[in-house]
């Protein structure tokens, strides 16, 4: 039997069916984090490359 650590979302003991989470709910929460977090990861250099402003207007705003 393999033991899993606490659920990455809520800290409850994880279950095999949803490892490393305790339930489908927590697995879904983590999935949402991946989808929504992609645009809001602070200090992520690779992220900046994806959101470089393409219009001159945006660029000048960043200059200030
Ligand atoms: Zn959980």
Within a domain: 40: yes
Q: pLDDT grade, residue 4 (50/70/90)?
A: confident
Is pTM beyond 0.95? Reply is no
For the stretch 9-24, pLDDT in tens is 999 999 999 999 999 9
Enclosing domain of residue 45: 16-63
Distance in Å, CA 43 to ligand 1 centroid: 27
Distance in Å, CA 1 to ligand 1 centroid: 20
Mean pLDDT (whole number) for 26-31: 93
Distance in Å, CA 33 to ligand 1 centroid: 14
Q: Buried b / exposed e across 40-56, counting CB within 10 Å, b at 16+?
A: eeeeeeeeeeeeeeeee
Distance in Å, CA 47 to ligand 1 centroid: 28
Within a domain: 51: yes
Within a domain: 7: no
Query: Mean pLDDT across the chain, nearest whole number?
Result: 76
23 in Cβ contact with 11 (< 8 Å): no
């Amino acid at each position: 039997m393999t033991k899993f650590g606490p659920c990455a979302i809520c800290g409850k003991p994880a279950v095999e069916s949803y490892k490393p989470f305790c339930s489908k709910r927590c697995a879904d929460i983590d999935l949402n984090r991946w989808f929504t977090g992609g645009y809001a990861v602070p200090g992520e250099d690779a992220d900046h490359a994806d959101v470089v402003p393409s219009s001159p207007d945006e660029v000048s705003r960043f200059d200030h």
